Amino acid sequence: MPVKDRVEMRKLPVEKRIRSFEEVALGYTEEEAIQEAKRCLQCPPRPCVQGCPVGIEIPRFIKKIAEGDFLSAYKIIKERNAIPAITGRVCPQEHQCEGVCVLNKLKKPTAIGALERFVADWALKEGVAKELAEKEIANRPSNGNIKVAVVGSGPAGITVAADLAKLGYEVTMFEALHKPGGVLMYGIPEFRLPKRIVEYEIDYLRRLGVDIETNVLIGRTYTIKDLLEDGYKAVFLGTGAGTPKFPGIPGETLVNIYSANEFLTRVNLMKAYLFPQYDTPIKIGKRVAVIGGGNVAMDAARTAVRLGAEEVYILYRRTEEEMPARREEVINAKEEGVKFQLLTQPIRFIGNKDDILTGIECIRMQLGEPDATGRRKPIPVPGSEFIFEADTAIIAIGAHPNPLIARTTPEIKVDEEGRVITDSELRTSMKRVYAAGDIVLGEATVIEAMGTGRRASQTIHRDISEGRI
Amino acid sequence: MRQLFRLNEIVEKKELAPRIKEIKVYNPRIAAKARAGQFVIVKVGEEGERIPLTIADWDREKGLITIVFQEVGVSTYKLGRLGVGDVITDVVGPLGNPSEIEKFGTVVCVGGGVGIAAIYPMAKELKKAGNRVISIIGARNKDLLIYEEEMRRVSDELRITTDDGSKGRKGFVSDELRDLLNSGLKVDRVIAVGPAIMMKTCADVTRPFNVKTIVSLNSLMLCGMGMCGACRVEVGGKTRFVCVDGPDFDAHQVNFDVLIKRLNAYKAEEQLALKRFLEVKA
Domain boundary among A378, A395, A412: A395
Mean pLDDT of A211-215: 97
CA angle (A322, A326, A330) in 5-degree steps: 80
- Which of A100, A126, A152 terminates a domain? The answer is A126
In sequence order, the β-bridge partners of residue A150 are: A173, A236
Q: How confident is the model at residue A279 (pLDDT cuts 50, 70, 90)?
A: very high
B29:A221 CB<8 A: yes
Does any CB of chain A come closer than 8 Å to the CB of residue B71? Answer: no
Residue A213 belongs to a domain: yes
A1 inside domain: no
> 3-class DSSP state for residue B33?
helix
Same domain, A307 and A348: yes
What is the pTM assigned to this prediction? 0.93
Instruction: Please state the rounded mean pLDDT for residues A143-164.
Output: 93
Rounded average pLDDT over A57-61? 97
A113 and A30 share a domain? yes
How far apart CA B187 and CA B107 sit, in angstroms, is 6
Same domain, A350 and A280: yes
Residues A461 and A417 both lie in one domain: yes
**Contact predicate A91/A447, CB 8 Å:** yes
pLDDT exceeds cutoff 60 at A167: yes
User: Which is more confident, B182 or B278?
Assistant: B182
User: Which ipTM did the prediction report?
Assistant: 0.94
- pLDDT, position A3: 79
Task: Look over chain B and give the mean of its residue pLDDT values, rounded to a whole number.
Answer: 95
Over the stretch A173-209, which tens digit does the pLDDT of each residue have? 999 999 999 999 999 999 999 999 999 889 889 988 9
Q: Does A251 lie in the same domain as A228?
A: no
* pLDDT tier, A141 (very low <50, low <70, confident <90, very high otherwise): confident
pLDDT of A1 strictly over 70 = no
Q: pLDDT tier at A144 (50, 70, 90 boundaries)?
A: confident
Residue A317: what pLDDT? Answer: 95
DSSP for residue B141:
S
- Within 8 A by CB and 6+ apart from B118, the residues are B54, B56, B68, B111, B193, B216
Q: Taking the CA atoms of chain A, what radius of gyration do you get in angstroms?
A: 23
Classify burial at B74, counting beta carbons within 10 Å of its beta carbon; exposed 0-12, middle 13-18, buried 19 or more: buried
> Which domain covers residue A191, as residue numbers?
139-242+401-466
For position A331, which CATH number holds? Answer: 3.50.50.60
Dihedral (Cα; A22, A175, A117, A209), 10-degree rounding: -130
Q: What is the pLDDT of residues B82-140, one digit of tens each?
A: 999 999 999 999 999 999 999 999 999 999 999 999 999 999 999 999 999 999 999 99
- Cα separation, B135 vs B18, in Å, equals 23
pLDDT tens-digit map of B157-200: 999 999 999 999 999 999 999 999 999 999 999 999 999 999 99
Does residue A350 fall inside a structural domain? yes
The C-alpha of B249 sits at a distance from chain A's nearest C-alpha, in angstroms, of: 17
Secondary structure class of B78 (helix, strand, coil): helix
CB contact under 8 A, B92 and A216: yes
Does the beta-carbon distance from A281 to B273 stay under 8 Å? yes
Q: Nearest by CB to A281, from B94, B261, B269: name it.
A: B269
Q: Which residue has the higher pLDDT, A448 or B213?
A: B213
State the pLDDT at residue B131. Answer: 98
Domain for residue A134, yes or no? no
Contact yes or no for A283 and B92 at CB 8 A: no
pLDDT at B158: 98
Contact status of B274 with chain A (Cβ, < 8 Å): no
pLDDT at B130: 97
Q: Do B266 and A283 touch (CB under 8 A)?
A: yes
pLDDT at A444: 84
Banded model confidence at residue A336, pLDDT cuts 50, 70, 90: very high
Of A217, A265, A271, the CB nearest to B228: A265
For residues B43-63, give the mean pLDDT. Answer: 96
- pLDDT over 80 (residue B228): yes
A:B CB pairs within 8 Å? 128
Mutate to test the interface with A, among B227, B231, B270 (most CBs of A within 10 A): B227
A131 assigned to some structural domain: no
| One domain for residues A387 and A434 | no
Mean pLDDT for A325-330 is 90
Q: Give the C-alpha separation, B104 to B123, whole Å.
A: 12
Indicate whether A49 and A111 sit together in one domain.
yes
Asked if omega into B247 is within 30° of 0 (cis), the reply is yes
Q: What is the mean pLDDT of residues A224-239?
A: 96
B/e letters for A437-454, b = 16+ CB within 10 Å, e = fewer, are bbbbbebbbbbbbbbbbb
Q: Are residues A214 and A248 in the same domain?
A: no
Are A319 and A430 within one domain? no
Q: How far apart are the C-alpha atoms of A148 and A236, rounded to whole Å? A: 8
Is cis: bond before A276, omega within 30 of 0? yes
Where residue A134 falls among pLDDT bands split at 50, 70, 90?
confident
Contacts of A281 in chain B (CB under 8 A): 266, 269-270, 273
CA quadruple A167, A168, A170, A172: dihedral sign: positive
pLDDT of residue B191: 98
Q: For residues A306 and A300, give the distance between their C-alpha atoms in angstroms, rounded to a whole number.
A: 10
Strand partners, B161: B138, B169
pLDDT score recorded for residue A443: 82
Which residues of chain A does B51 touch, with a Cβ-Cβ cutoff of 8 Å?
A: none
Amino acid in position A231: G
Tell me the C-alpha distance between A190 and A306, whole Å: 11
CB contact under 8 A, B239 and A253: yes
In chain A, what residues touch B90 (CB-CB under 8 Å)?
A: 178, 214-215
B47 CB neighbours in chain A (<8 A) are 271, 274, 277-279
Whether A355 maps to a domain, the answer reads yes
CATH number of the domain where residue A36 is located: 1.10.1060.10
Same domain, A157 and A216: yes
Cα A420 from Cα B225, distance rounded (Å): 18
In this prediction, residue B44 carries a pLDDT of 97
Residues A251 and A386 both lie in one domain: yes
- Cβ neighbourhood burial of B281 (10 Å; 0-12, 13-18, 19+): exposed
Residue A382 inside a domain? The answer is yes
Could you tell me if residue A2 is inside a domain?
A: no
DSSP codes joined into one string, B164-223 = TSSSSEES-HHHHHHHHHHTT---SEEEEESSHHHHHHHHHHHGGGT--EEEE-----SS
Distance CA A463, CA A450 (A): 20
Q: Give the contacts of B75 (CB within 8 A, at least 6 positions apart).
A: A279, B42, B44, B48, B49, B51
Strand order in the sheet with B20-26: B9-17, B20-26, B64-70, B51-59, B39-43, B90-95
Residue A237 contacts residue A408 (beta carbons within 8 Å): no
Q: Which residues of A touch B265 (CB under 8 A)?
A: 255-256, 283
Count of alpha carbons within 13 Å of B31, Cβ hemisphere only?
A: 18
Residues A372-421 have pLDDT tens digits of: 878 888 999 999 999 999 999 999 999 988 888 888 899 999 999 899 99
> What pLDDT is stored for residue B180 in this prediction?
97
In order of A29, A319, A324, B107, the CA distances from A212 in angstroms are 34, 43, 33, 44
End position of a domain, from candidates A340, A360, A395: A395
The nearest CA of chain B is from the CA of A268 a distance in Å of: 12
Q: Of A176, A354, A402, which has the smallest distance from its Cβ to B92's Cβ?
A: A176
Q: Are A217 and B92 in contact (CB under 8 A)?
A: yes
Partners of A178 on chain B (C-beta within 8 Å) are 43, 50, 89-90, 92
Rg of chain B in Å (alpha carbons): 18
pLDDT of residue B281: 63
Considering only CB atoms, which chain B residues are within 8 Å of A252? 232, 239
Same domain? For A391 and A407 the reply is no
B262 contact residues in A (CB cutoff 8 A): 253, 255, 355
The predicted structure's pLDDT at residue B1:
46
Count of structural domains, chain A = 3
User: Which positions in chain A have a beta carbon within 8 angstroms of at least one beta carbon in chain B?
Assistant: 176-178, 186, 214-217, 220-222, 242-244, 246, 248, 252-253, 255-256, 258-259, 261-262, 265-266, 270-271, 274-281, 283, 354-356, 402-404, 407
CA torsion B129-B38-B155-B235 (nearest 10°) is: 90
